[in-house]
Structures are given as structure tokens and as C-alpha cells.
Amino acid sequence: MIVLTENGTKRAASVYRFAAHLLIALLVFTLSSCGHHKGGHENTGNRGRAMDSTLVIAMLGDADYLNPVLGSTVTSGNIIGLIYPSLLQSEFDTTTGLVNYIALEKKLRAVTPGQGKKTPKGALAKSWRMSEDHKSITYVLRKDAFWNDGKPVVSGDFKFSYQLYGNPVIASARQQYLAELIGADKGNVDFDKAIETPDDTTLVFRFYKPVPEYLALFHTSLTPLPAHHWKAVNPDEFRHSALNLNPLGSGPYTLKSWHQQQEIVLASNRKSNLPKAGTIPQITFRVVPDYTVRLAQLQTGAVDVVENIKPEDFIALLRANRQLEVKTVGLRVYDYVGWSNIDHEEYRKSGRVKPHPLFGSAQVRLALTCAIDREAIIDGYLKEYGVICNTDISPSLKWAYNDRIVPHAFNPTKASALLRAEGWLLGSDGILQKNGRKFSFVLYTNSGNARRNYASVIIQQNLRSIGIDCKLDVQESNVFFENLQQRKLDAWLAGWSIGLEIDPLDVWGSDLNKSRFNFTGYQNPRIDRLCELAKQKMDPIGTRPYWLEYQEILHKDQPITFLYWMKETQGFSKRIEGAELNISGTFYNIDDWRLRPSANVAL
């Protein structure tokens, strides 16, 4: 249920704004449709039947890769999860805040009443056995799983895939998942010893130290690729291989077509028994960069799902089409302002770590956080669907969350004092200067994200009020995320959808070659150590003291400015039946969704 708290004046203004935006968007949408019209009268019966068999999801941006070794965006992850098989199924327990791992014949934990809706039939593993010394885990795989070309899914596919994940030439963002395998402590995984495949249905991972069972399950269940399909591709050609455009999977859906920057179409995979063929015959992920157009297409029925609806648009949207609803889920996603802690240009040239001339000091980064009115962004845009974010451990992870941390308050006076202490003084033009350098930079974000566009304007105004020249630049989403991954940006506004197992080395680890999501270049040996200490505890609850300290360090160092956690607000057509949203994701059980026939849907 959505509770609306705006007064009548704001409510009316929201309706009028929505109507104006909708008119513009409908004109764009209509003209676009006319441009593609091939002549003749539209067959409404055929269109109805197509609607009945196709789910359309509007996306802000395209997938980067449909390859699990390379894909790094949320969109890619959603689609990869439908195409490829999984060693295990996982489910987040909202009561305990812990993740349960599920094989066909085994679960890590007993299921809490009211939880445990995920079927184990999608798992490739029948069961597993952890050794008494916690230095190996052995999986028994099922014999009835096949790639779409008819070849069986075998243990060798996993060994082959882990060699790809760990290959420095390929530079997968998931290299830290291999950090406990034999040889990793000496710099290179010894794959001959670390992963054994005695036969097609037996898969053994060996570690150089004891590893808790939950972490072993998490780190050994990366998505596999079919070895027979990829073995001829050299590592230096891997990212550019044509096979990336034609994925061979075995999941509930298969790729039908991919028109890059336009749409990805998936078809139900009738061959799949992992767990079964997708219920909806066809799913289209359509790229619609403009928020207003996405909203209009949802209202007219051109698309079925639009994520991150503005709270101010709820009333008008639901009045315009009573066959729509807004579903909420959270807290898993947060927005942040990223600051390059190191001079990335110098690091690329020489490999030398040198503090960034603007953002290299923790005190300067703290000043920037104090200068930004995070509550104003929440009140103006997210309203009751946002809460202040202190670190990247979500309040949803109840056992680990540090509720003793007091958020850094909006305090421009404190911010100015901190900057003054760091040598930043106002120049004659009203801009802070130090050693002849102005405090001036460009804040980048991705196009089509109305929330971040709103936040960036407030941030710009806040920083200008204390003498910082912050220019704004918006980049097309795929360009923005590519620049981010290549560490080409000094300051940016982006977001994270956190993992539900706490394992932050890929984001904050000091080894910048392996920690591919450490875009800031932040390095703190104590953070590295706390992550290692946590891995030594066999029970996740026993790691709580380490994660409490971890959060205190991030709060003090401010490697980024954590803005807000969001309850994601997703617009759904009511013709979708069976959708169960939870913190695992909007598309948590999409392979079980059903579409009500169009004849039963009235606007």
C-alpha cells in the first residue's frame, strides 16, 4: 500500500506537471510510432495476441555484456540470471537478514516460517559437503542439465569458467571471489590444485585456509560458461568475441535478439529444466533513456514495468490508468557521490599511488559530505521512500548494521572550517583556492535518471555556497559506466545495489588490480584486515564486531559521500500476475510471472 502525505495543493500541482509531461512524451511516442509504420490498417487482434505473450520492461540503459564473466550492471545481471544456469539457488531471509543457499537436496539453514519460497529446482547442484577442516567443498551435480545445444552441463564448465574469472587479461570484476583458492595467497591461483573435476558430476574447490561454509558457497557459485563453446577464444579476444552477442545458456529464457541501445528480446526456453521454461513466452527489455517517455509508455500500456517511479508522480499515474500499481522494495540500493581518492591519471602512467589534488584528504571529503543537504534531496524527491545512508551495509542486514553511527549533519559552517584547515581559502572570485589551484571540478552522472539529476543540482548549489565550483555533465549510461570502470572520472554521482552477503573487498580492497569496483582508489589496510578477519569466522553472526568497526572507519574516512538508501518504487501493469518483489530484486521470480489476457485489461 502507498500512503500519500502531500497536501492538496502539492497533489494538484503534481497532476498538472504529470499531464504536461505526458502530453510531450505521447507526442514523441506517437511520432516515433508513425515513423515506423509500414502502411495498412493495424490488426488489433494480432496486437492483442502479441500483448498476451510479451512482457515489456522499460530500462534506463542497455546491458553492457550478456556474459557473466564480464557483465557488471544491474540490467546485465537481471538478464544473465534468466539465460544462464546457477550452481545454487539463494534466498534472503528478511527475518534474520541472512542469505540461505539451496541445492536440490540440501539447504544451508532451516527455513524461517513465512520465508523459503524459492524452488530448489533451478540449482545445478544436488548437494554439497564441506570438509571438517573447512579447506574444501565438494559439490555433486545433477545429470539432467544441458546447454541449449544439447551438450551436458558438467563440472569442467565450472573449472574453465573460474579460470576466466581469474585471468588478469580478461580482468573480470569478480576476481575477489577467488581470493581463498589455493595459490591466491601467493599471487596466482593454482587451478590444477584449487579446482578438481574427478568426473562430470563432481566438483571440488580447495582453499589455502579454512573458509566458513556460507562464504565458500557464495564464492564458489559464480555463473558458468559452456567450456566447449568458449575454449577456442583467446583471453585477449574474450571481451570482443562475437560469442558475447550470442550467449549459449540453459536457463528459463534464451536470447532471441539484441539491438544494442534499443532492446533485448528473450524467448522462453522450452528445453530448460532449470527450473523450467519461463511462463511468459517473450520478454522485451526496451531501452528508453528519458524518464518522461518511460512514464508515458507505462500509462498507455506500451510497456508493463518501469522502475523508480517518482513519488510525486504516483497520484497522477494511478488516476490516469487504474490498471497500474506501484510496488515498493528495499533497502538494497543507495546513491552516492564518488570522489577519486587518488590521482588516477598518475596511477595509470606509473602505477604510483598519489593523493588526488582535490579529494585525496579524508578531511576534505568529510567537508564535502557536511556541505551536501542530503535531507533536502530526500524530502524533495524520495520523501518517505528514502533514508540517510551512512555506509554500504544496509539496515536490512540487521545482524551487521551499526545503528550507533550518527549521520554527518548538513553543516556548511563546519564544512568551510574543515576546508580552511586543509589550506583552502576563498579567492577574489569567491572560489576556494590552494597553492594556485581552484577547487573546481565536473560532477558526472548518467542520462535519464531523474533522481540523480535532481540530486546533482542540489549538490551543485550546496557546494557553490561554500566556494566550490561544481560543474554538471550528463553522459549516456553505457558511456558513463564504462568511464567509471576505467577510472576516468574524478567525481561522479552513481548508485550501488549491494550484495546480500557482506563481502566488500571488490569495492574497497587496496589491491586496485583485483578490486575492479574500487573506482575511488580508496586504500585502508585496516579495512582489508577486517574483511580477512571476518572470513575466519565460521558463523556470520560472529563477524558482527568486525563489520561494526568497518562501518565506523568508512564513516570517518568518507571515501565517498553516501547519500540515501531507497525503497525502490516500481510501476507495474496489473495484467502481470504472480510477481513477488523482495530485497533480492524486482525480477526475483520473473520466470514465474504470468500475463492476464488483454481482453481482461481495461484502461
% of the chain at pLDDT higher than 70? 90
Asked if residue 38 has pLDDT above 70, the reply is no
Asked if residue 2 has pLDDT above 80, the reply is no
Judge whether 444 lies within some domain.
yes
The dihedral built from the CA positions of residue 154, 156, 160 and 166, taken in this order, carries a sign that is: positive
Asked if residue 43 has pLDDT above 50, the reply is no
Residue located via cell numbers 577574489:
428
Residues 231, 262, single domain; the answer is: no
- Contact of 222 with 503, CB cutoff 8 Å: no
C-alpha grid cell for residue 278? 519461463
- Contact of 164 with 170, CB cutoff 8 Å: yes
Residues 357, 494, single domain; the answer is: yes
Q: How confident is the model at residue 36 (pLDDT cuts 50, 70, 90)?
A: very low
Contacts made by residues 266-275, CB under 8 angstroms, sequence distance 24+: 266/79, 266/82, 266/83, 269/148, 271/146, 271/148, 273/121, 273/144, 273/145, 274/85, 274/86, 274/121, 274/122, 274/123, 274/124, 274/145, 274/250, 275/119, 275/121, 275/122, 275/591
Residues 126, 211, single domain; the answer is: yes
Amino acid at site 603: L
Q: What is the pLDDT of residues 241-274, one digit of tens each?
A: 999 999 999 999 999 999 999 999 999 999 999 9
**Spatial distance between the Cα atoms of 85 and 161, rounded to a whole number of angstroms:** 13
- Contact of 84 with 68, CB cutoff 8 Å: yes
Given this model, what pLDDT does residue 115 score?
A: 74
Phi-psi region of 356 (alpha: psi -120 to 50; beta: other; left: phi over 0): beta
Residues 101, 172, single domain; the answer is: yes
Given this model, what pLDDT does residue 320 score?
A: 92
Judge whether 2 lies within some domain.
no
Residues 117, 130, single domain; the answer is: yes
End residue of a domain, out of 186, 211, 243: 243
Residues 126, 23, single domain; the answer is: no
Given this model, what pLDDT does residue 52 score?
A: 78
Tell me, what CATH number does 505's domain have?
3.10.105.10
Residues 421, 313, single domain; the answer is: no
Residues 300, 336, single domain; the answer is: no
Given this model, what pLDDT does residue 381 score?
A: 95
Q: How many domains does the structure of the chain reveal?
A: 3
Asked if residue 7 has pLDDT above 60, the reply is no
CB-neighbour burial class of residue 141 (10 A; exposed 0-12, middle 13-18, buried 19+): buried
**Spatial distance between the Cα atoms of 516 and 512, rounded to a whole number of angstroms:** 6
- Contact of 418 with 369, CB cutoff 8 Å: no
Instruction: Give the SS3 label for residue 293.
Output: helix
Tell me, what CATH number does 29's domain have?
3.40.190.10
Given this model, what pLDDT does residue 94 score?
A: 87
Given this model, what pLDDT does residue 114 score?
A: 75
C-alpha count within 13 angstroms, C-beta hemisphere, residue 263: 14
Q: What is the pLDDT of residues 527-577, one digit of tens each?
A: 999 999 999 999 999 999 999 999 999 999 999 999 999 999 999 999 999
Judge whether 73 lies within some domain.
no
Phi-psi region of 308 (alpha: psi -120 to 50; beta: other; left: phi over 0): left
Q: What is the pLDDT of residues 102-115, one digit of tens each?
A: 999 999 998 888 77
Tell me, what CATH number does 117's domain have?
3.90.76.10
Given this model, what pLDDT does residue 51 score?
A: 66
Judge whether 40 lies within some domain.
no
End residue of a domain, out of 243, 271, 302: 243
Q: Between 335 and 500, where is the model more confident?
A: 335
Asked if residue 409 has pLDDT above 60, the reply is yes
Judge whether 398 lies within some domain.
yes
**Structural domain span for residue 197:** 85-243
Residues 557, 587, single domain; the answer is: no
Residues 581, 511, single domain; the answer is: no
Judge whether 509 lies within some domain.
yes
Judge whether 41 lies within some domain.
no
Residues 209, 350, single domain; the answer is: no
Asked if residue 46 has pLDDT above 70, the reply is no
Given this model, what pLDDT does residue 5 score?
A: 27
Residues 429, 453, single domain; the answer is: yes
Secondary structure (H, E, C), 488-514 = CCCEEEEEEECCCCCCCHHHHCCCCCC
Of 2-11, 377-386, 442-451, least confident by mean pLDDT is 2-11
Asked if residue 349 has pLDDT above 70, the reply is yes
Average pLDDT over the chain, rounded to an integer:
90
Judge whether 78 lies within some domain.
no
Given this model, what pLDDT does residue 404 score?
A: 97
Q: How confident is the model at residue 129 (pLDDT cuts 50, 70, 90)?
A: very high
Closest CA to 301 of 279, 285, 321: 321
